[in-house]
Amino acid sequence: MTDLFTDVATIGTKGPAIFQDTSIDCAICLELLDGSRVVTLGCGHRWHYNCLVQQLQTARPNSTKRLLFSGTQCAKCAVICEHSELEDLTRSTDVLRQKVDLLVVEQVVLDVPEEWKRCRDKPAARKTMLEDARRNYAFYMCGHCKEPYFGGTVECADDEDDGDTAEAEERLCVACSPDPQICCQNPLEHRGYLTWKCRYCCRPSTHLCYGSVHFCDGCHDRNSARVQEQRRQRMMTGRNGSQLPPLEAVPCPGSSSCPFPKPDDRTHHSNGASKDSEQTYGCAWCQSVSNQQQHAEEPGSHNLLRNPSGQTRLQRWRQLNPQMSWTVEQSVIPVDSSTTTNFVSSFQRCAMSQVLNLSQILKNHRTATFEVSARYMGRTDCPSVFQLEAVLMDRNQLPLQKLATETLQAPSDCWERATLIFDRVSLPQAQYLNITVTGKDSRFWQGYFGSKVANCSVRVMGTPEELAQVMLTN
């Protein structure tokens, strides 16, 4: 991260000036440079000292508009103003700009993690991505802690006079917003995994605009159409004209019909332009941890499967589709503190299996209960499906009993657990247990954007005393 930050921080800077500015007037005030205090910036261009001071004072960021640093640049070459006599004015803005540069990196990693990974060993490609993000992302200063935060895209920010605006105290970073604190243990770290309600309807949001307003796709399109209508009227009349009415809210159908959680035990969501209509539905990161706690393992043996989360790539797993196999990736949301990888499927059906020889696990003529489980997850932008299947087989590997989950929709950015239970399995009737995990994405995207799987597990259930009676080793 440090090297990346260094690359980002140097965008738009140059080395020592290699030319001499021969201008005779100041391009800010258009007055002659002679007879007034003149400074030569690090880029080599000359200006009136007082003109630069006025420019830099005007350019100081505030909480009322999105953060812009164009006023801190030389007006001739767009290089950041650097001069020893201006440091008192540029120091605080330089620090703020560096913080924004770091936020650019973090947001790119959240938005396009796969593309960022593909450019891991391509510094030029990563630098291009970051430069594009600088042009397209909008950042604001929190009205409470005065720290910068990501607030949407420049496209929407440029429409701010036509769309929804916010007072400085309404623009709060995630760490200072009261609502996320209710459902998330660490909102600042988990901000990429928070699910917000759309301000104008009950659906989860997919867009953050104007630094403080969350929209779902439908309401974002309606607001964009409203802004376009405002512009059309301005072009036709040649003047600003009257403001269009605010975006119409979609009423909440009420507790019996609306599936989304309501704040403060209310029966309806309060949808509309007010900031009170903002709500956080949940945190995928915290929910994943909560699900693990809810599914705390009952007493049983250790996991009998090998390579349950792709720690050793695809070893021990037999790929059943010759055209498309599972692959392994670094986990975006950790399954637990010790697991950093997971399997991920593609646009065709990916299926893999692992077979256990029960004669190497159970004592002969003993019965035991087996738990077969796996954790699975999908992406927000690409729906996917998952299925877990297990088959007990005899010594000739003919099926005796088969259990399988339904075809499950993988939850977005949150680990769920699928479980199958074989009760009273005994030797010598059952000799093998075959476990199969299947997944694919539902949009046929080229690449690996399907369901993710980790912590594939087979355990013999029981207390330590019971396990000692039925297992060869535990």
Query: What is the b/e burial string over 382-397, where b = at least 16 CB atoms within 10 angstroms of the residue's CB?
Result: bbbbbbbbbbbbeeee
CA–CA dist 146, 275 (Å, integer): 19
Tokens 């893999």 found at:
352
Tell whether the model's pLDDT for residue 419 goes beyond 90.
yes
Tokens 């005994």 found at:
426
Domain boundaries, the chain: 2-141, 168-286, 297-470
Tell whether the model's pLDDT for residue 433 goes beyond 80.
yes
Quickly name the fold that domain 297-470 has: Jelly Rolls (2.60.120)
CA–CA dist 168, 327 (Å, integer): 47
pLDDT value at residue 2? 39
pLDDT value at residue 313? 94
pLDDT value at residue 10? 41
CA–CA dist 1, 139 (Å, integer): 20
Specify the amino acid at residue 283. Answer: C
CA–CA dist 456, 320 (Å, integer): 17
Q: What is the pLDDT of residues 266-291, one digit of tens each?
A: 889 999 988 889 999 888 777 766 66
Q: What is the pTM of this model?
A: 0.59
pLDDT value at residue 245? 77
Burial class (CB in 10 A: 0-12, 13-18, 19+), 43: buried
How many other CB atoms are there within 10 angstroms of residue 64's CB atom? Answer: 13
Q: Of 44, 42, 28, which is closest to residue 87 (Cα–Cα)?
A: 42
Q: Would you call 209 helix, strand, or coil by DSSP?
A: strand
Tell whether the model's pLDDT for residue 323 goes beyond 80.
yes
pLDDT value at residue 241? 54
Give the pLDDT mean for 88-102: 85
Q: What's the farthest any 2 CA atoms get from each other in the chain?
A: 105
What residue spans of 252-359 are helical by DSSP H? 284-294
Tokens 């297990």 found at:
390
Give the pLDDT mean for 296-311: 87
Please report, rounded to a whole number, the percentage of residues in the chain having pLDDT higher than 90. 34
Tell whether the model's pLDDT for residue 390 goes beyond 60.
yes
Q: What is the pLDDT of residues 435-457, one digit of tens each?
A: 999 999 999 888 999 999 999 99
Give the pLDDT mean for 99-107: 89
CA–CA dist 432, 360 (Å, integer): 10
pLDDT value at residue 377? 93
Residue-averaged pLDDT of the chain: 85
Tell whether the model's pLDDT for residue 163 goes beyond 50.
no
pLDDT value at residue 297? 60
Give the pLDDT mean for 177-188: 82
Task: Give the lowest-confidence range in 31-45, 225-239, 289-303.
Answer: 289-303
Pair type for strands 399-404 and 384-393: antiparallel
pLDDT value at residue 58? 83
Q: Of 437, 440, 401, which is closest to residue 417 (Cα–Cα)?
A: 437
Q: Quick one: how far is CA 258 from the chain centroid? A: 26
pLDDT value at residue 291? 62
Give the pLDDT mean for 191-207: 90
Phi and psi angles of residue 221, each rounded to the nearest 5 degrees, phi first: -65, -40
Tell whether the model's pLDDT for residue 192 goes beyond 60.
yes
Q: Which residues, listed in sequence order, are joined to residue 357 by a DSSP beta bridge?
A: 432
Q: Of 212, 323, 359, 339, which is closest to residue 288 (Cα–Cα)?
A: 339
